[in-house]
Amino acid sequence: MMDSLKPLVVPKYLNGIECWDKPKSITSLQKREIYNYLHSVRNAYPPASEIYIKARIATLLSHYFQATTNSDINQMVGTDWIDCLAVFPNECIKEAVNWWRDNETKKPTPANIRKLAIKSFGIIEWERIERLKECYKLPIVDSENELKENEVIIRTAQTKRRVSRLTKLAMKPKQNWTNWEHKFFRVMGARCKNQ
């Protein structure tokens, strides 16, 4: 995690009790860093697919007595499990299910497996990610320097996109150019000769 994000998520301790003070706002630079961090976490720990979750839970629940129920009810129960576990990677769900199967004798609820999956993922890391998600929703307040810096970044990105687009156009065979492209390169060619 970047050092600039740590003050946003680190809890304070008052009389031994953990307290997190949600900030009132964030800067656009912090928002960009939060987005990049959450994106990297999602890439590092991709969420489990619905099929995987259904298969793991069906296997786990098959060890316990189940009264015959309507298929619609089974579908809704499956949706509940998916809602609770869809954000976790396969490994966390697998570890949680295996732990429950090996250590408990009662039938699990989605909350039981979710708690174990959070524990498997790492409680501290899970809390950081949840706090960053909350911070990402906050309003942006920028200082003048950051506004100028963001403007330069945006202009640079726009220039890179334009150059990339024009390079691709220049690579096209001339017979495939549109009228606009012919005019553009005639004007640009004239400007380059004049300089």
Residue-wise pLDDT for 25-62, tens only, equals 888 888 889 999 988 988 888 889 999 998 998 888 88
Considering the domain architecture, whether residues 69 and 93 belong to the same structural domain is answered as yes
Tokens describing residue 92: 């966390």
Considering the domain architecture, whether residues 80 and 153 belong to the same structural domain is answered as no
What residues of the chain score a pLDDT lower than 50?
193-195
Rounded Cα gap, residues 164 and 59, in angstroms: 52
Considering the domain architecture, whether residues 28 and 108 belong to the same structural domain is answered as yes
Rounded Cα gap, residues 92 and 41, in angstroms: 14
Considering the domain architecture, whether residues 27 and 39 belong to the same structural domain is answered as yes
Q: How many domains does the chain have?
A: 2
Considering the domain architecture, whether residues 45 and 102 belong to the same structural domain is answered as yes
Considering the domain architecture, whether residues 134 and 148 belong to the same structural domain is answered as no
Give pLDDT, residue 58: 87
Give pLDDT, residue 195: 47
Average pLDDT, the chain: 80
Q: Which helix (H) or strand (E) holds 17?
A: strand 17-19
Q: What one-character DSSP code corresponds to residue 11?
A: -
pTM here?
A: 0.58
Considering the domain architecture, whether residues 184 and 154 belong to the same structural domain is answered as yes
Burial of 8 (0-12, 13-18, 19+ CB in 10 A): buried
Considering the domain architecture, whether residues 26 and 101 belong to the same structural domain is answered as yes
Considering the domain architecture, whether residues 72 and 149 belong to the same structural domain is answered as no
Considering the domain architecture, whether residues 123 and 165 belong to the same structural domain is answered as no
Considering the domain architecture, whether residues 22 and 93 belong to the same structural domain is answered as yes
Q: Which domain holds residue 177?
A: 144-194
